């Protein structure tokens, strides 16, 4: 599986931790590449474009709260970035909302929680059915 990943400075160490703990994933690392201060939209757009360009099907974004990076990614038409701080939220984002980007709040979860959240996101799939009509109404 190939997955895009990106973060800002607040998410850098968690990004590196996840990459080293999911060896079965072919990571497309869109940055950032250090803990030096950067602007999260740059990396949100890079991950979103990798999905739009069909380089990857899914992505993970990480910033301090998960909010800013999600907001930036969700400006892209076919991107559905969802913040999760529990595995159940990650599963539901995929199952009910067909989320294609998982956003993690690095300052509010532990590394072990992040592993469980990512696993839940990757193991879930879109249920379609009654959820499809709702997802179809998201784009403006």
pTM of the model: 0.96
| Number of structural domains the chain divides into | 1
What's the CATH number where 28 sits?
A: 3.40.1400.10
- Looking at residue 82, its pLDDT comes to 98
What's the pLDDT tens digit per position in 86-117? 999 999 999 999 999 999 999 999 999 999 99
What is the SS3 assignment for the chain? CEEEEEECHHHHHHHHHHHHHCCCCEEEECCCCCCCCCCHHHHHHHHHHHHHCCCCCEEEEEECCCHHHHHHHCCCCCCCEEECCCHHHHHHHHHHHCCCEEEEECCCCCHHHHHHHHHHHHHCCCCCCHHHHHHHCCCC
> Is the pLDDT assigned to residue 118 strictly greater than 90?
yes
- Looking at residue 60, its pLDDT comes to 98
What's the domain range around 118?
A: 2-136
- Looking at residue 67, its pLDDT comes to 98
What's the pLDDT tens digit per position in 35-62? 999 999 999 999 999 999 999 999 999 9
d(CA 136, CA 128): 11
Confidence class of residue 140 from pLDDT cuts 50, 70 and 90?
Answer: confident
- Is the bond preceding residue 77 a cis peptide, omega within 30 degrees? no
d(CA 59, CA 5): 6
Residues above pLDDT 70, as percent of the chain: 100
Active site residues: 63, 96
């Amino acid at each position: 599986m190939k997955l895009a990943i990106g973060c800002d400075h607040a998410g850098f160490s968690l990004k590196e931790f996840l990459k080293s703990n999911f060896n079965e994933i072919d990571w497309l690392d869109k940055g950032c590449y250090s803990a030096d201060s950067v602007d999260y939209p740059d990396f949100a757009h890079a991950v979103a474009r990798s999905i739009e360009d069909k380089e990857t099907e899914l992505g993970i974004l990480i910033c301090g709260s998960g909010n800013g990076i999600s907001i930036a990614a969700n400006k892209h038409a076919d991107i559905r970035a969802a913040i999760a701080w529990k595995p159940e939220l990650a599963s539901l984002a995929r199952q009910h909302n067909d989320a294609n980007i998982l956003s993690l709040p690095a300052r509010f979860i532990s590394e072990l929680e992040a592993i469980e959240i990512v696993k839940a996101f990757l193991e879930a799939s879109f249920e379609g059915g009654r959820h499809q009509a709702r997802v179809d109404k998201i784009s403006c």
